[in-house]
Structure formats: C-alpha cells, structure tokens
Amino acid sequence: MMRVIDSHTGGEPTRVILEGGPDLGSGSLAERAERLQAEHADFCAAVLLEPRGREAMVGALFLPPENPKSLTAVVYFNAAGNLGMCGHATIGLAVTLSYLGRADPGVHIIETPVGPVQVEIRFGNRVVVQNVPSFRYKKDLSLEVPGLGAIKGDIAWGGNWFFLTPDAPTPLDLTHKDELTRAALAVQRHLSLAGITGTDGAEIDHIEFMGAPKGTDAHGRNFVLCPDGAYDRSPCGTGSSAKLACLAEDGLLPPGQIWVQESVIGSSYRLHYQRGVKGEIIPIIEGEAHVMAEATLLFAENDPYRTGIRAEA
C-alpha cells in the first residue's frame, strides 16, 4: 500500500508520496536520486502510469533532509525517470505540506538533487519558489530537422536542460498539441543524434517552443515537452527559468522586472530574477496549486498492470 496526495499546479499534476516509497539507502541526495532511477523503475511507472496515474503526472518522493533546518528533501520523477528540479511540483509539494499542517505560511528550504530551493508559502494556495541558479549555455544553435526544416534556438539550464526555440510549426494552443508534440520529439531526437548536450554531456531532455501570449497580462506563451513525452500543462517552472536566463543574457529583461509566462492551456506564472554571484540568474517563480485527492494505492500481486501500462505492450 502507498499513501499519496494529488495536486495540480496550473493544470499540471503532482503526486506526493507520503508512505510506501522505496528505501534509497544512504549517501547524498543526488546519489539516492540516481538509485531511484537505476533500481526502482517499476515503482516510478506503477505510481505514475495508467491505471493508477495519468499522463503528465510528476511524482515527489520525500526523503530526510541533509540539513536539519530544511523542511524536507525530495526527489522528483516522471514515468521516464528522475527530474533534477521541478517548479510546478515544488509549488504542489508546498501546498500539499500546508494542507497537511506540516508547513506554516512563511519561508522554507526544500532540498533537491540539483541544489536547495527556497519556498515561500502564502495564503490562498500561492507559493513563491526561489529556484536554483540558471543560465544560458549556447545561443542561436542552428538545426536542420527532417520534416521541420531549419530550427534555431538556445540551450539553457533552469534546473533541467532545455532547448528553447521560437520556431514552432503551429500556433501554441491545444488544437495543435499533437503536431507540437511530434515536432518537439523530432527536435529532441535530432539533438541526441547530433550529440548536442548540456554541460558535461548532459542530455537535453526538455524542448520548449516559445511564442506570443494570448492573455493581455502575459508576456510570452510556451509549449514544453517533458522527458516522458507528455506536454506540460503548466508554464513549466524550470523552463520559465531557462527562458528568463536567455532574456537576461540578451538584455531584454532587467533584474526585478516581472515576466508573466503563459502555458499552452492558458495558466500562468509570475516571474522575475536576481543576479547570482557568478553571472547566472536566480529565478523567482510565483504560482498556485490545488490539492485534488487523497488516496491509498494498492498493488496486488495478481494485478497484471501492477507496474503500469507500458508503451511497449
């Protein structure tokens, strides 16, 4: 049995595991996160894939923090594997902890495998996340993608690795989500085949198409494809952080100025940034999450889909 609480942040679901997760042993949080991916793939799939989960769901597994002053440590994962950081899930986690009475309004530290983040829990389901340092790695990278033609974009880090491009093949709306998904997958495959990576050979596993907003109070709109092949319903906290790093590098957004990022479904984050000590930026993301369900997941030995419905089936 496994006790979970589900929330959504701007439409993107988070499943927080309260009880019943695997023992990841000792070591650093990054080492324990690697152990989750290497040794517990069935656990991740069983929790997030159908029939217990649903497309785009991200899991959050509590672990004891290394710093006793931290609220908690957490490993984020989707059906494809671990995520370094996850903005929407951090907002969802903070609102879930508030709902449970485990976190009061105010400022807290949450440890992630890529570094600690600061969260401020506000009333009314709102959370402000100070993300990990973010930066642009490469600018105006040109790709020739079969079926799409010339694509130009930037590679940036926002807690995960992103390829960000304005060269979307269709408008950024739900009517075209299938075409956008296929195009993003093609870009991702081309990056991999071409050996294009982030620092230290890191895989670029998120693709972000950028465009003009539809809302009058927003500054940009995005379609983000995540490593599990599902599109992000939220504006993507780490993707928005990567976007801010590019804007800052180009001199298009000064520190402290608000940027409202709109998702493909119309939900939004309010963002700004501070300058880091090494020239990177420190993104600050404000969003809203809502708890949707409390559940106990059951995994009967005779259930043929105990570990989820796999694509290869």
Residues tagged active-site: 86, 236
Contact 66, 73 (CB under 8 A): yes
Contact 4, 297 (CB under 8 A): yes
Q: How far is CA 11 from CA 20, 29, 222, 235, 263, in A?
A: 26, 28, 14, 9, 9
Biggest CA–CA distance in the chain, Å, is 59
Q: Terminal CA-to-CA distance of the chain, rounded, Å?
A: 25
SS3 at position 1: coil
Determine if the peptide bond prior to 51 is cis (ω within 30°): yes
User: What does the block give as tokens for 294?
Assistant: 């409390």
**Cα distance between residue 34 and residue 56, in whole Å:** 21
**Cα distance between residue 99 and residue 219, in whole Å:** 32
SS3 at position 162: strand
Which backbone phi and psi does 66 adopt, to 5 degrees?
A: -75, -35
DSSP one-letter string for 199-261: GGG----EEEEEE--SSTT-SEEEEEE-TTSPBPSS--HHHHHHHHHHHHHTTSS-TT--EEE
- C-alpha closest to that of 97 among 84, 82, 109, 85: 109
Contact 150, 141 (CB under 8 A): no
> Could you tell me whether strands 58-63 and 72-78 are parallel, antiparallel, or unpaired per DSSP bridges?
antiparallel
